[in-house]
Structure 1
Amino acid sequence: MKTSFVIAGHEWRRLRVQSWSWLLLASVVALLAWVFLERLDTFLRVQETTGNAASVGATAQVAAPVLGWLAIVMIVLVPLMGSRAIAGERRAHSLNLLLAAGVGDAAIVVGKWLGLFAWLLLLTALVTLMPLSLIGTTDLDLGRLAANLLALVLHASALTAIALYASSITAQPVLAAALALLINVLLCIVDLGARAAGVSNGLINWLALPTHFGPLSDGVVASVDLIWFVLVTVVFLALASRQLAGLRSTD
């Protein structure tokens, strides 16, 4: 586990020194700040018109939509940020040094996952500060806000694992990003056909990401949804480790 933390620190430093990482982070924060201010302006206008300052209104109309937009942005952002995690090292032939040093496949994957996941937690924290700034000016449903934050953390965890798996398949970061984005999109739309056919509680519905993210964002924390995100994270991390094992055996 110590090795994983060392690799995580290296991955964090790699993201920290690259300008595009900060550019992506700043762009996302700026976009969501605009969404936050727009939703807040709409909420204040409605409040002035109706005189209703209910806490549910502030949380549902301002906080939840902003965090929901972050979840959508992550579907595209995480593949871009994670595409170079392993593929970039393969392309630069620096991955061979880790493999030759006897570092375990799982340790490499978990370390890379921790480094990127920590970066996404920083982004999540910065965006969460926006709705939290409303505390003291209006009542917020902190329970639902906490559920939304939990959903985002689990969401980021699963997407990071998917990005690492895609990055382990190819030495081309662009292809890795495209593959991770494709997997993310498929997880989002896999149940559309079933829903169109009137099936809403089948296995294919359970496989879809929105099926589990939606209830959490509404403030409903269920074990089945938590398990789904954990399973997706573990499965794709295991697949990435297996892929590294295959690379080790061919070298």
Structure 2
Amino acid sequence: MLNKRFASVYRQGGLSYLEVLLNTKSIDQFLFYLELIERQSKRDTKTIAELRLIEQEIKADSVLLLEKKQKQKAMVAELKVKKDKIASQLKEKNNLLAKIKTQLAQYQQTDIKTQLALRNKLKTSFKLALHHKMVSRGESRSGSGSGVVGIAMNELGKPYCWGANGPGSFDCSGLTSYVYGQVGVSLPHSSRAQYDCGQHVSRDELQAGDLVFFAHGGTISHVGVYVGGGNFIHAPSTGDVVKISNLGDHDGYVGAVRP
């Protein structure tokens, strides 16, 4: 009977332990149940301590989870700031690129107009020079020189293309071989080879129609047609067009040939 009552007290808790002790019928029984109660009390104390420890661990884990969550929120906010900054910088760069493209197009348009104006000016000057016999190669060469320059000027503005020799695009030696071919003079499609195709003339003896040559690294790599006034027509490089330039603006001048 007392065993059942003790089990019931253990399940229900409270002050009923005292009731169990008061209902014992002997000292031995009292001491026996007192020992059971003490043992159970120790177990309960241990269980409570373990539960409190678990509770503390849960609270600590909750704090850590909250801190991690807050850090994640901070990281998300920081990443958003960085993303917005990058997007803003990209927008600025795109705007700058669009502005540069617009300016480049305007410059190219202006450059084409300048080239055309210079071409017309040189044509006029050249015609006057011929009229006054200021530009001459002798009776048999004056017509050829003026013809070469006129043909070359008609090609102004056409795009550079490596290996091309007209009529839609040119590289440097392709342009010179093309314009001379129009007046019946055959030239190889090579600036180095063209350097050996005619009479070499000094810089102060240059006449319209002469071929002018440039070298880089000790090797002839560029050629153009002299038009007078220190200027020459040439197909410069990829991305550029056939245009008029001044000899003084180009390094590497090595000489001239009169085909």
TM-score band by shorter chain is under 0.3
Bigger relative CO (Cα 8 Å, ≥ 6 apart): 1
The alignment's TM-score, normalised by the length of structure 2, stands at 0.25
User: Larger helix proportion, structure 1 or 2?
Assistant: 1
User: Larger strand proportion, structure 1 or 2?
Assistant: 2
